Copies of this chain bind each other. A is one copy, B any other.
């Protein structure tokens, strides 16, 4: 077992890290680092392992997200963050789509270069306080009025943990619009295979030599495994013991 453990570790050249629930718990006050995580990032970098953050964060531009992480003590550069909004812009350009945005105010600058006149799709992010009755009705009416409604969702998470408790994530609102319009959203961000592939390209390491570390069993662990990577689930963030089957010891769930 020890021999196998060393072999496993030797083959690893890069790490993809989820951020919220792994490095820090987000919150209105900017959030707080999870104990040991600043030091862990420092040691990963010192070890020579490649490091890329792979996040579904859509409440801020990558630039301001990185400023926040640096203020919390994490030594991270903008190029080390793979996030859904830039991936969505790529897709919008590729397909000539003009979005109506239902996103957080602080994410809007990511779409500055995108034509948003006469929308032919809706882009949904973690809009938080912008998830009002009026805004959801507006997005719904645009979609139901389209001959072929296109809903692009920046992630499909169920919920996440902030410093003041659990919050509904974009996936819940995506389901509301999917049901109302009888359509299926296209998900940009984890667990999309294409998204993990771009994160790996930015990491510069093939899937079999990379490990994804996250707190979400579906979007982090499942998505990475679909891509041929190994994955670890941390027990911080939204992790809840109640979600473990009773028939297996908790240690079985660490990878």
Contact = CB atoms under 8 A, between A and B. Distances in A.
A235 interface: no
Main SS of the interface on chain A? helix
Contacts of A159: 140, 144, 180
Nearest to A131: B133
Given A132-B133, A133-B129, A182-B158, A172 B166 contact: no
A198 to B, nearest CB: 26
A176 to B, nearest CB: 4
A189 interface: no
A167 interface: yes
Contact of A175 (B130, B136, B175): B175
Given A128-B133, A166-B141, A182-B158, A173 B176 contact: yes
Q: How many copies does the complex hold?
A: 2
A129 B132 CA distance: 8
B165 A180 contact: no
B158 A179 contact: yes
Interface residues of A, number: 29
Given A132-B133, A133-B131, A136-B131, A172 B168 contact: no
A178 B173 CA distance: 11
Contacts of A53: none
A219 B91 CA distance: 37
B171 A180 contact: yes
Contact of A168 (B165, B167, B176, B182): B176
Interface of A: 128-133, 136-137, 140-141, 144, 158-159, 165-169, 171-173, 175-182
12 contacts: A128-B133, A129-B133, A132-B133, A137-B165, A137-B167, A140-B166, A140-B168, A158-B179, A169-B180, A172-B177, A175-B178, A175-B179
